[in-house]
Amino acid sequence: MSPPKHLTGDKAGIEEFLSRFDVFLFDCDGVLWSGDHLFDNVAETLEMLRSKGKQLVFVTNNSTKSRADYKKKFDKMNIPAKVEEVFGSSYSAAVYIARILKLPGPKNKVFVLGESGVEQELDAEGVSYIGGTDSAFRRDIEPEDFTNLANGSALDPDVGIVLSGLDFHVNYLKLATAFQYLQRGAVFLATNTDSTLPMAHSLFPGAGSTGAGLVKAIGKEALSLGKPSQAMMDAVEGKFHFDRSRTCMVGDRLNTDIQFGIEGKLGGTLAVLTGVSKKEEFLAEGAPTVPMAYVDALGDLLG
């Protein structure tokens, strides 16, 4: 395998690289921004790609926001984008539950560990749920909770799925409730399992970390519907109908974004060094996941 091409400062190399693709799948956190801090020249770079006739799709594992929320974020950051161009892990999970898993009613209700983005996308797919941002779960567990969870009186008999996403309000009561549903045979799904979340130019526990306690307790991994899951790639391709050989995945994380593109047999992958992964990780001898090319920051594509 040839070493990844460093495109920063290589105008001709950038031109040649961009000419290979008609579609760019863009990761968001760590590539476009860190939280609410937009990286330099992102809007200009996306505009340049659009001016070259490239199709852009925003494929994010951040399940805290819905597609509509992301549209608001793009607008707030003055980045021209359409809601139809966003494909987040909360949408991926909701589509999977509603259109693929399709558990027979009434046991198709979801217990959510996650934020509003998951709830909005489940609503959009007509999937009923409990938990999530419900303030009733934002309290300490009490002695009677153990009894009522154990005897099932505190459980909703229609819950057949536990969906674990990035939850900024995870606590023991929510974990204990989710665990009891899983013990009773609920299907275990995750929007994504990223270990860390790039925010404020630093790293914080990600969805995979806020859900790790449940995985440890129940003794099995959830089926993840976020990158690098190819269920997500199939869903994205099914919606946008692109030629995989003319499509490039752009991301900051090797074990989600770049792996997603490689396993999806896309025409190429481009790593961006403003998020989670460091170049040493993929330049090292025998590195398991190596992008086709990389830039120090997305804006470097302006040449």
Ligand X SMILES: O=C(O)[C@H](O)[C@H](O)COP(=O)(O)O
Contact positions with ligand X (CB under 6 A) in 12-41: 27-30
Contacting range for ligand X; rule: CB under 6 A; set: 15-23, 181-189, 191-199, 280-288:
191-199
* Closest CB 81 distance from ligand X, rounded Å: 14
Per residue, the 3-state secondary structure of the chain, as one string, reads CCCCEECCCCHHHHHHHHCCCCEEEECCECCCEECCEECCCHHHHHHHHHHCCCEEEEEECCCCCCHHHHHHHHHHCCCCCCHHHEEEHHHHHHHHHHHHHCCCCCCCEEEEECCHHHHHHHHHCCCCEEECCCHHHCCCCCHHHHHHHHCCCCCCCCEEEEEECCCCCCCHHHHHHHHHHHHCCCEEEECCCCCEEEECCEEEECHHHHCHHHHHHHCCCCEECCCCCHHHHHHHHHHHCCCHHHEEEEECCHHHHHHHHHHCCCCEEEEECCCCCCHHHHHCCCCCCCCCEEECCHHHHHC
* Closest CB 29 distance from ligand X, rounded Å: 3
* 158 is a catalytic site residue: no
In this structure, the strands spanning 23-26 and 55-60 are parallel
* 257 is a catalytic site residue: no
* Closest CB 54 distance from ligand X, rounded Å: 19
Contacting range for ligand X; rule: CB under 6 A; set: 1-9, 124-132, 174-182, 188-196:
188-196
Contacting range for ligand X; rule: CB under 6 A; set: 46-54, 79-87, 90-98, 194-202:
194-202
Annotated binding site for Mg(2+): 27, 29, 252
Annotated binding site for substrate: 227
Say which entry of ligand X, Mg ion, none residue 177 contacts (CB below 5 to 8 A, set by partner kind). Answer: none
* Closest CB 195 distance from ligand X, rounded Å: 8
Measured from the Cβ of residue 185, the count of other Cβ atoms closer than 10 Å reads 9
Give the Cα separation of 60 and 90 in Å (integer).
Answer: 9
Q: Residue 117 is which amino acid? A: G
Q: Of the two residues 37 and 184, which places its CB atom closer to ligand X in the complex? A: 37
Interaction mask 237-276, Mg ion, x per CB under 5 A: ---------------x----------------------x-
* Closest CB 177 distance from ligand X, rounded Å: 21
Contact positions with Mg ion (CB under 5 A) in 14-53: 27, 29-30
Interaction mask 273-292, Mg ion, x per CB under 5 A: --x-----------------
Interaction mask 204-223, ligand X, x per CB under 6 A: --xx----------------
Q: Of the two residues 196 and 247, which places its CB atom closer to ligand X in the complex? A: 196
**Given 10, 22, 27, 296, which residue is catalytic?**
27
**Given 10, 22, 29, 243, which residue is catalytic?**
29
Contact positions with ligand X (CB under 6 A) in 50-89: 60-62
What is the C-alpha end-to-end distance of the chain, expressed in Å?
26
Kindly list the residues in this chain that would bind ligand X in the complex (CB under 6 A).
27-30, 60-62, 166, 192, 194, 196-197, 206-207
**Catalytic sites, residue numbers:** 27, 29
